[in-house]
Structure 1
């Protein structure tokens, strides 16, 4: 049985990401930067996904370009090591959660983007 998060709309989760980063003094632009780095969505593509209320499975399935450096994202999120998650979709979702957490924690963008220059995202 598929996990409930797979059929949850990205649009219903996105405001929680925004609240999380803004509460910690970070910006929506920084949030978009990590989403773009991970998935390849530009601002217009991200807006389309939000407007269409696509579910998380579709969000990642239609991602223009998953970053090959996503495998460098490690650590614990929701009690699970992201590098050890076996389901590819769940791992992608947790990668995004981890990036959002790192933005909210005030980590340097160059570190969050796993060494990729911030302007190259």
Structure 2
């Protein structure tokens, strides 16, 4: 098997509308209704599918809100990201700090979404 990369990730959420609003406002992602009642967030060529905890399919019943932890890359300098987060009253839980990314060093800042998923926003160094 030759894995090429990610197609999408899924976040289990308590309130789909609140999650859509948060990611649109804070990270500039775009909502898309893939089919009636099934929402996702898009940025670049990437997608985060949202799974409503109240209507999770049997396959995903053990997935719970707040268990997500992921990193997105930006070309906006991290100092500006920090300023933007603070201006929107988003609490920074760690950073800026240097970390090891998929292809090298990154400078990251961490915060939580409405379900307490850990979101990392990073610059490649």
Q: TM-score, normalised by structure 2?
A: 0.31
Bigger helix share: 1
Larger radius of gyration: 2
Q: TM-score, normalised by structure 1?
A: 0.32
With a CA cutoff of 8 Å and minimum separation of 6, indicate the structure with the bigger relative contact order. Answer: 1
